[in-house]
Structure 1
Amino acid sequence: CFPEDDRVSGFIENRDELISLLNSILPDLSKLLIDKSLKDWKKIEYEVVRDQYDNCIVICNMENIDPLALRTDYSIVVAPSQTLSSDEYNLLRSVSIKVIRHLGIIGTCNVQFALNSLSSEYYIMKVNVGLSHSSEFTSKATGYPLAYITAKLVLGLNLAELSNDITNTTCSCFDPSLDYVAIKVLRLNLSKSNQCSNEIETSMESAGEVMAIGRSFEEAFQQALRMVDKDITGFDPYSRTITDNELITPTDERVFLLATALYQGYTIEHIFELTKIDRWFLNKFESIIQFIIQCSHSSTVEDRTLLLEAQQLGFSHKQIAQYSHIDEDEVRASCEHYDN
């Protein structure tokens, strides 16, 4: 449900919840939009560029880690997508190009999809014409100068006439290819959401965002978490015990609750049933936690293979020292020794 001024929005499961929501917002509001729920579907985005000669390219596609439920702007975003099958990727890519051609857009647009991975059913949720927050992330993640290219296309040039500033040898009419992972994480500003709890709702504000790039998902993910807050060292579990309900309810601590659940022995299937986060991401999270457990039972700095694995998984010197129960300077010295 989305009222006309978007002050209140949410999901309803039955008649009683609908009546309760209506009682809470009426008579302050006179209109209410009720739409089909796409809760637990995947959110996928495609950034598409088109010139006046109908040449189209896809700059990048992105995927939210969280399924559709909370306001999707606050989910962690990964580029390129990691869990789509080849058929799903090409289907949505084809639809994105059809959308920009149908709308007659010259320049860039961002097409947002809701995808049911069980049936490959999809909906187009939104089309952002021109530069958007997603466009900014795409430009930074790929190095493709979207603003510059869009301006040139609007002035009448075509993609084949514009050089690729990354390679300096090819034109701009080819889809960029990424051999790395880029991750965007938002920092929530709960003080502006008029609520006392830290639960993430469908209408909130953020206090900025960070982006990290790594050769693997784990590396980029842990780097991004460290940049969100100076007190965060990575994907670290809490020392306390958590409950299933804490995983079900999205909060600003959800990432670390996932780490804690895996550290406490929750299975991937159980976490999937509670959160509907794709198993691919949960497996990546588990690999980080398993390495933390391994670090606590062995001397990582004395094993070059383990130290290399730690760096590939995005562990900082501080994290390695913390879980290996040694001094951070010793970890740094070992890294420098092996690098030489």
Structure 2
Amino acid sequence: MLNKITATTKTLLLVLVFTFTIAVILGLIFFNTTDYWDNFWNFWPGFLGGIIAIVLFINQIEIDKSEKKKTKDDEVRKEIFQRYLDFQDDMLTNIVKLLLDFEPSLREDDSVTQNKQLASSLVTLMYYVEDGQNRRFELQKYLDNNELEDNRLLDFNDVSMQLDSIITDESNKTVVDIVRQSYPDLKASIDYRFANKIKSDQNSNKVQNDIILGSWILNKWSAQHAKYLVGVSTIDKRILGIFKITNPEYIDVDPNFENRIYFGNGTETIKSVDKDDNKNNLIMPHLDNWTARNPVLYYKQYLKSKNIDLSKEIPSIAKEFNISVDEFEHLNDRDIIIVRTPRLG
């Protein structure tokens, strides 16, 4: 009942209690007579009953207004969310078509005409990614953290990584140069992606681990209360790296990406990423049908939602985590966070 009392009602009730208390104190000090107390007890019960009835009536009116506003806000949020999903589906269809333009097997030649067509595709793709990231950022103002983890939402990190590969691919140099010269507003973005490529080449192992450690769209509280972060490949869900969360207080929002979580400072490496030697790594069981656009999931919670029995595979997974079977079985639904990335295979 208390949690349904509005701030206004609580204030009125406090004033009423204060007034009643003052009346009692004054009676005890200045009017401590039989007549006073007879009148006091004849007056106050009826007065209090009437006032409380009025206060509760006002309280109900405010609750009704609040619930109507909440219902309206929920409807607006649902409408915004649906509009975004519609936009995202249309954009994703176009992005897939544009990515196919850069598939080497589909290229007919290296003519000037084709390079101009590819330059046009690259420009459109870059604008799509920028627009998608901006709209996703705006969406975060209207949704709570649980809604932002909806599997229908696309994390533009994956698409941005594919764009990185296209721009830094030597075979696309002519196409990229055309875009540089013709679209000055995109030059900075191209230079930034090349700079990241150089940094990656210079510090390969750390950068590969950082790809797993961040940055991801998920609830900060959930990230801090998990026990393990596991990176898997997009194609076959092969384990790429495993990190134990040892200092959750250091897991925080990535300063370079607002509302994305970076795990790096709060983890201890169990299995480091080695892009050139991961072909024989364990494939994380029962993720074959994980095709959601959101590249983040809570492993045991996901298995439970699919009614999947993991008992046969637990020994091999526990071995990868360097823990016992019993320890693995006692992990909670959200203790293992799985992230996938196309950048490491």
Give the alignment's TM-score, normalised by structure 1.
0.24
More helix by share: 2
Q: Which has the higher contact order (CA 8 A, sep 6+)?
A: 2
Give the alignment's TM-score, normalised by structure 2.
0.24
More strand by share: 1
